[in-house]
Amino acid sequence: MLSDVTTPQDLDDRFREALAGLAAAPGRRDPAERVRDDAPLTGAQLLDLFDAQATSRQLDLAGRWLRSFGEGFYTIGSAGHEGNAAVAAALRPGDPALLHYRSGAFYCLRAAQAAGEVAFPGPEGETAVPAPDGEATVSGAEPPAEAATATEAQAADGAADGAAVGRDGAAGREDAYAGAARDVLRGMVASAREPIAGGRHKVFGRADLAIVPTTSTIASHLPRAVGAGLALERLRRRDAVGRRAGADPLGDVGQPPRSPWPPDAIVVCSFGEASVNHASAAAAFNTAGWYDHTGLRIPVLFVCEDNGLGSSVRSPKGWVEATLRAKPGIRYFSADGTDPVRAYEAAVEAAGWVRRHRRPAVLHLTTVRLMGHAGADAETAYRSSGEIAADLDRDPVLATARLLVEAGVATAGELLARYDERGWQVRRIAEEVLGEPKLASAAEVVAEIAPRRPARVARAVADAAARAGGPGAAARADVFGGRLPEAAGPLTLAQSINAALADGMLDHPGMVVFGEDVAARGGVYGVTKGLRDRYGAARVFDTLLDETSILGLGLGAGLAGLLPVPEIQYLAYLHNAEDQLRGEAATMRFLSSGAFRNPMVVRVPGLAYQEGFGGHFHNDNSLAVLRDVPGLVIAVPARPDDAAAMVRTCLASSAVDGSVCVLVEPIALYHTRGLYAEGDGEWLADYAEPGAWAAGHAPIGRARVYGVGSAEDVTIVTFGNGVSMSLRAAATLADEGVGSRVVDLRWIAPLPVADIVREASATGRVLVVDETRRSGGVGEGVLAALVDGGYVGAARRVAAVDSFVPLGPAARQVLVTEDAITQGARTLLAR
């Protein structure tokens, strides 16, 4: 018997040898019967699990085969984790699943469930499962008896004649397992025809299977799962209230939000045991437990698949169980994940508990890892032959086969034939997908990162205006208590954002505003003041103090059908959670070819120039971490009238295109009233009435230009706090006879390149005023845009020093000043 398994051939040989050694049962068992008196699984169901596991195992072998001649690009497999097929079997195909990368068997079983090809819960609801006392337990609508009977008979016929080797066999039809295999193999070879990521990455995901692609297994998807669970439950309760009241409680101005999943669905997310140590996992568990403690319900099932190793690093014995058991507010379930019966029992119990109670739980499955971490991993470098042999004895595919043989459902020969048929099928499909086209241009690669449809966004803004001024006028007047913002006189930046958010919530019934202090207090700076009173605690709520969880809630809410507007209290605090934007939010369309999206508008009070307050953590002047995220929209409104228009644009873009927008609001300008002198009112602006929204629309990637004097001598390109400083500097220059054009970028990503090049070329002299740091600052992007755009005139830059912002007056030593802007322009003019 082989004991030092490091190759696919060794693993396959070991399985065959062990299977051949199994003694046949004294008699045959009807597949419609339970495989054991104490087991909830019938023979037909166990055969379905075996098919899913065998397909997954053959996919792992095919992945290594493809890599051996340079045609496969992904070798992290599921070998040893095939017990997760039992988790899929315990769920419904409408339950959204966020899976880690060892979920091949889960994916295959879910595909067969959705196709109605297995004797487990299918598209119509739950299937009756025999209970130990002989009665059927049903947790949902039972499908027609003839459907279940047909499935069982199909499996029985195959087991009886040894031809149950793939339900596409004689007729040549490709069954759901083969279809799932084709999906996975296309991912391995980076085929452009792969159904979810389109060749951009190998992930488990398909919209029709409610499987949401995730970027990794280090728990970055867990906060999103919590957010999806919270949103799903809130939508379910909203629907229930609406049915009882006979109307939508969120109003009738816009379309009420609809979840893509059934009302009683639960969210499942799986991860490896090493991920319990990751900050994202800690945040997700803590948030789920925190909300459970407050009485809010989050129907999330966390599934920890524990093979004892994180790459080559061992998990201390007992650590994972102790950690998971200690999570407050999260129910703990566990089982041997290599035992199909016990894994299925535990998964049914855990999923049923979450579905009934709408509360979070964790299912801890002990597993094994076969063939190492990935194709290049020599596991013998950190594991002994004895350890590897012990894992082989717990091979979950072999465990399922052993139970089938012992129960008399199938013979070893029949199962080997079934296994080989899957293998031949997978190899045939692998050879077919080898010739499929790959992504062949940059345009194809980036097509789904962040598609822009500006005409539709503009139309959405115009439609919102028509509703607010027409059928929604009465509701709008009621929301504002009869004091409409357009009649309130000139507003500050903070007041304008507040009014735009209030209007947005009226037009988007699925819009939710949340973050630290945003509800009862109305935000640290009062920007969300009054929104909770107007729209209720279900739509405007305070969160716990954790930025990762705040963004995770937003990601899940957007996925579930809401329009989330989370607030990160200060820009400096975003760095605690930036991967939720970079790795999760921005990649969703990229990894799903647009099948999934996470519309979201993140509000971030930021930038510097707060007088007498804060230091670095309240005056962070760096946007570099946002600027390099592909597809992210970054808006920096400087003036009140622009702020309202840009809020409307961001909301419309998120609703129409699924955009992820970050609205960086300059704190120092929130309550500013004067421009040239204290109290002159030049930095206030009237709030536009709905009839003027379309005309005042601020398209993404378009700048605003101010002319001072003749506007013919120098162009000043800036944003945020730089706008008011540059306008004051331009006034000083005008007294000296110098005419300036001040270009407010408004949008940091995408930059308004055409506007920048046009306005710079108009004077031939451009001064870039960048309040962010000299290295990695916005100014670098502006200058690069000028060069790429063919600008040939003179250019100069004024930027903040590469330093954190110090406390008090020392801040003036490192930040851009009006004097520096004026002097920079004079130097440029003197050339």
* Residues acting as catalytic residues: 618
CA dihedral 281, 284, 288, 289 (to 10 degrees): 50
C-beta of residue 185 within 8 angstroms of C-beta of residue 59: yes
Decide: residue 218, CB within 10 A, 0-12 exposed, 13-18 middle, 19+ buried: buried
Rounded distance, CA 779 to CA 627, Å? 11
Rounded distance, CA 515 to CA 546, Å? 9
Rounded distance, CA 472 to CA 778, Å? 40
- Phi and psi, residue 135, nearest 5°: -90, 155
Strands 714-718 and 765-773: parallel
Q: Which two tokens stand for residue 302?
A: 């966390």
Q: 233: which residues sit within 8 A by CB, 6+ positions away?
A: 296, 297, 298, 299, 358
DSSP 583: I
Rounded distance, CA 290 to CA 700, Å? 37
Rounded distance, CA 701 to CA 250, Å? 32
Rounded distance, CA 398 to CA 21, Å? 11
Rounded distance, CA 229 to CA 231, Å? 5
Which amino acid would we find at residue 291? Y
Rounded distance, CA 505 to CA 276, Å? 37
C-beta of residue 816 within 8 angstroms of C-beta of residue 771: yes
Strands 633-635 and 747-749: antiparallel
C-beta of residue 252 within 8 angstroms of C-beta of residue 541: no
Rounded distance, CA 212 to CA 269, Å? 10
Rounded distance, CA 644 to CA 150, Å? 60
What distance separates the 2 farthest-apart alpha carbons in the chain? 105
Rounded distance, CA 268 to CA 237, Å? 20
For 534-587, where are the E strands, in sequence order?
540-542, 563-567
Strands 633-635 and 129-130: unpaired
